[in-house]
Structure 1
Amino acid sequence: MTDELWPVADVRAFLAGSWHVERTVRDLADDVTGVFTGTADFTADPATAGALRHLESGSFTWRGIARPARRTLLYLPGEPPGTAEVRFADGRFFHGLDLRTGRHVADHPCSADLYRGEFTVYDAGRWRTVWRVRGPAKDLVLTTDHRRG
């Protein structure tokens, strides 16, 4: 990947559509790596004006066993348009997102663990998230590459 950043003026317009997703999950405590491959579809959410529903689905392989995996997030439009508020499917706040410079760092406390995510946009068809999770229950690095699909 290049280190060049691609500023995003409108998060909704940038994310809308289908993306191919590849994620590695490294458990640093146990020295184990898993892999998720699938798609992420960002579509208009019928229940929330201007919001995008993010449906990710695919296969996650952990310790040699592949299983179906999916998750849903909601991206609420921010002001200005290069920003958004990300929520879990049940409506709980996950993190803010500001891609106006092409890079954003977000924190999400989860019980005693802290998730720190770095979002990097490389161009109109590629972006990456790296979540570093630290705490008494977890010691993980989750790296996700998104490519227009």
Structure 2
Amino acid sequence: MLTHTHVRTIEWGDCDPAGIVFHPRYLAYFDHATCLLFAKAGLDLATLQARFAVIGYPVVDLRSRFLAPCRFGDEVRIETRIAEFRRSSFDVHHVLHRSEAVAVEASVTRVWAGWHPDDPQRLQGRPVPEEVREALGPG
């Protein structure tokens, strides 16, 4: 199973006036970590769009647990992996560590999506290609 680890330092712009990470910023971290995981597998967004005629993998569900606060200047480590593939959706699991402690866990469900053939204003889920499953998958 492919896992990507990303280390970052918490910036002031990510924090509230108390210097604690404003919770929506974690979602931006996790979105970026997902892109890095796909890129590690050789499947950056431009490659996906060209090879598979999809627009991407939008979020349709999100569950998170905030276990310990992170603050301005903290160095954190984000571990990202695919937890499960289904026909046209998949779950991405993120664990954010501050030192050795788990600070945030999140599970994000995404859909492999392209434009709807009958309505260009809508997206439509498509089967996740086997090549993508093999490159990223839990098996």
TM-score (normalised: structure 2): 0.34
When Rg is computed on C-alpha atoms for both structures, the one with the higher figure is 2
User: Which structure has the highest helix share of the two?
Assistant: 2
